[in-house]
Amino acid sequence: MSLFVTQGIMRIACVCLLLLSATVLSQNVNERYRKFIEQHINGKMSVNRCDEEIGLRRISKTNSNECKETNTFIRATTNIVKSICGLAGAPYERNGQLTRSLQPFDIVVCTLRNQGARQPRCQYRGQSRTRIIAIKCEQGFPVHFDGDIVHLDH
Protein backbone atom coordinates (compact mmCIF):
# COMPACT_ATOMS: atom_id res chain seq x y z
CA MET A 1 0.00 0.00 0.00
CA SER A 2 1.33 3.43 -0.84
CA LEU A 3 1.99 6.11 1.72
CA PHE A 4 -0.72 8.24 0.08
CA VAL A 5 -3.39 5.53 0.55
CA THR A 6 -2.28 4.88 4.14
CA GLN A 7 -2.54 8.59 5.01
CA GLY A 8 -5.99 8.74 3.42
CA ILE A 9 -7.20 5.78 5.46
CA MET A 10 -5.79 7.38 8.65
CA ARG A 11 -7.62 10.65 7.90
CA ILE A 12 -10.90 8.81 7.32
CA ALA A 13 -10.41 6.87 10.57
CA CYS A 14 -9.75 10.12 12.48
CA VAL A 15 -12.84 11.80 11.01
CA CYS A 16 -14.97 8.76 11.90
CA LEU A 17 -13.58 8.76 15.45
CA LEU A 18 -14.34 12.47 15.86
CA LEU A 19 -17.90 12.02 14.57
CA LEU A 20 -18.45 9.07 16.90
CA SER A 21 -17.07 11.05 19.86
CA ALA A 22 -19.34 13.99 19.07
CA THR A 23 -22.37 11.68 18.87
CA VAL A 24 -21.56 10.06 22.22
CA LEU A 25 -21.01 13.46 23.88
CA SER A 26 -24.26 14.76 22.41
CA GLN A 27 -26.21 11.74 23.70
CA ASN A 28 -24.63 12.19 27.15
CA VAL A 29 -25.65 15.89 27.23
CA ASN A 30 -29.19 14.99 26.10
CA GLU A 31 -29.50 12.42 28.90
CA ARG A 32 -28.17 14.88 31.49
CA TYR A 33 -30.52 17.60 30.21
CA ARG A 34 -33.52 15.24 30.46
CA LYS A 35 -32.48 14.33 34.02
CA PHE A 36 -32.13 18.05 34.88
CA ILE A 37 -35.65 18.72 33.59
CA GLU A 38 -37.06 15.74 35.53
CA GLN A 39 -35.38 16.78 38.78
CA HIS A 40 -35.65 20.55 38.69
CA ILE A 41 -38.34 22.00 36.42
CA ASN A 42 -42.00 22.19 37.38
CA GLY A 43 -43.88 25.34 36.43
CA LYS A 44 -46.80 24.50 38.74
CA MET A 45 -44.87 23.31 41.78
CA SER A 46 -46.20 24.29 45.21
CA VAL A 47 -44.61 24.07 48.66
CA ASN A 48 -47.16 21.42 49.67
CA ARG A 49 -46.25 18.99 46.87
CA CYS A 50 -42.61 18.15 47.70
CA ASP A 51 -43.27 14.62 48.97
CA GLU A 52 -45.55 13.80 46.03
CA GLU A 53 -43.34 15.25 43.26
CA ILE A 54 -40.08 13.81 44.59
CA GLY A 55 -41.75 10.42 44.97
CA LEU A 56 -43.36 10.49 41.50
CA ARG A 57 -40.10 11.57 39.87
CA ARG A 58 -38.10 9.02 41.92
CA ILE A 59 -35.57 11.64 42.98
CA SER A 60 -32.99 10.27 45.42
CA LYS A 61 -29.31 10.46 46.23
CA THR A 62 -27.28 9.31 43.24
CA ASN A 63 -27.22 5.52 42.79
CA SER A 64 -29.19 4.77 45.97
CA ASN A 65 -32.66 4.75 47.47
CA GLU A 66 -31.64 7.21 50.21
CA CYS A 67 -33.71 10.38 50.38
CA LYS A 68 -32.05 13.41 48.84
CA GLU A 69 -31.31 16.10 51.46
CA THR A 70 -32.68 18.96 49.34
CA ASN A 71 -34.14 19.32 45.88
CA THR A 72 -35.02 22.57 44.17
CA PHE A 73 -37.81 22.94 41.63
CA ILE A 74 -37.73 25.91 39.27
CA ARG A 75 -41.19 27.29 38.49
CA ALA A 76 -40.65 28.02 34.80
CA THR A 77 -40.72 26.39 31.39
CA THR A 78 -37.82 24.35 30.04
CA ASN A 79 -37.17 26.95 27.32
CA ILE A 80 -36.93 29.82 29.81
CA VAL A 81 -34.48 27.87 31.98
CA LYS A 82 -32.50 26.77 28.90
CA SER A 83 -32.13 30.44 27.90
CA ILE A 84 -29.87 30.92 30.95
CA CYS A 85 -27.26 28.97 28.98
CA GLY A 86 -27.48 31.71 26.32
CA LEU A 87 -28.35 35.39 26.48
CA ALA A 88 -30.31 35.17 29.77
CA GLY A 89 -27.23 34.08 31.75
CA ALA A 90 -23.77 35.24 32.76
CA PRO A 91 -20.61 33.35 33.80
CA TYR A 92 -20.51 32.56 37.51
CA GLU A 93 -17.43 31.00 39.09
CA ARG A 94 -18.03 28.72 42.06
CA ASN A 95 -17.21 25.03 42.28
CA GLY A 96 -16.28 25.02 38.60
CA GLN A 97 -17.62 26.76 35.55
CA LEU A 98 -21.22 27.82 36.16
CA THR A 99 -23.78 30.19 34.68
CA ARG A 100 -26.11 32.39 36.73
CA SER A 101 -29.47 33.69 35.63
CA LEU A 102 -29.69 37.41 34.96
CA GLN A 103 -33.25 37.47 36.32
CA PRO A 104 -34.62 35.93 39.53
CA PHE A 105 -36.76 32.79 39.36
CA ASP A 106 -39.56 31.53 41.54
CA ILE A 107 -38.30 28.30 43.08
CA VAL A 108 -39.51 25.76 45.62
CA VAL A 109 -36.79 24.30 47.85
CA CYS A 110 -37.74 20.92 49.33
CA THR A 111 -35.73 20.04 52.46
CA LEU A 112 -35.76 16.55 53.98
CA ARG A 113 -37.46 16.46 57.40
CA ASN A 114 -36.73 12.85 58.36
CA GLN A 115 -32.95 12.56 58.08
CA GLY A 116 -31.60 9.15 57.10
CA ALA A 117 -34.90 7.98 55.60
CA ARG A 118 -35.11 5.85 52.47
CA GLN A 119 -37.64 5.91 49.67
CA PRO A 120 -40.61 5.77 49.75
CA ARG A 121 -40.63 7.28 53.26
CA CYS A 122 -39.05 10.64 52.36
CA GLN A 123 -40.82 13.60 53.96
CA TYR A 124 -40.01 17.13 52.84
CA ARG A 125 -40.75 20.68 53.91
CA GLY A 126 -41.22 23.06 50.99
CA GLN A 127 -40.19 26.69 50.98
CA SER A 128 -40.96 29.21 48.24
CA ARG A 129 -38.20 31.67 47.25
CA THR A 130 -37.38 34.13 44.49
CA ARG A 131 -33.70 33.88 43.63
CA ILE A 132 -31.04 34.17 40.99
CA ILE A 133 -30.08 30.57 40.16
CA ALA A 134 -26.72 29.00 39.29
CA ILE A 135 -26.59 26.11 36.84
CA LYS A 136 -24.00 24.22 34.84
CA CYS A 137 -24.46 24.34 31.06
CA GLU A 138 -23.01 21.97 28.48
CA GLN A 139 -23.41 22.56 24.74
CA GLY A 140 -26.12 25.15 25.48
CA PHE A 141 -28.19 22.92 27.77
CA PRO A 142 -28.60 23.05 31.56
CA VAL A 143 -27.31 19.80 33.07
CA HIS A 144 -26.83 20.58 36.78
CA PHE A 145 -28.56 22.83 39.32
CA ASP A 146 -25.87 24.22 41.60
CA GLY A 147 -27.94 26.44 43.86
CA ASP A 148 -29.71 29.70 44.39
CA ILE A 149 -27.89 32.96 45.01
CA VAL A 150 -29.11 35.29 47.75
CA HIS A 151 -26.56 38.06 47.22
CA LEU A 152 -24.87 38.60 43.91
CA ASP A 153 -21.07 38.72 43.87
CA HIS A 154 -19.75 42.14 42.84
d(CA 98, CA 91): 6
Helix (H, G, I), strand (E, B) or coil at 76: coil
User: Which residue in 90, 119, 92 sits closest to 103, CA to CA?
Assistant: 90
Half-sphere exposure of 10 (CA within 13 A, CB side): 7
C-alpha dihedral, 148 to 29 to 78 to 111, nearest 10°: -40
The residues that are catalytic are: 40, 144
* Dist. CA 72–CA 110, nearest whole Å: 6
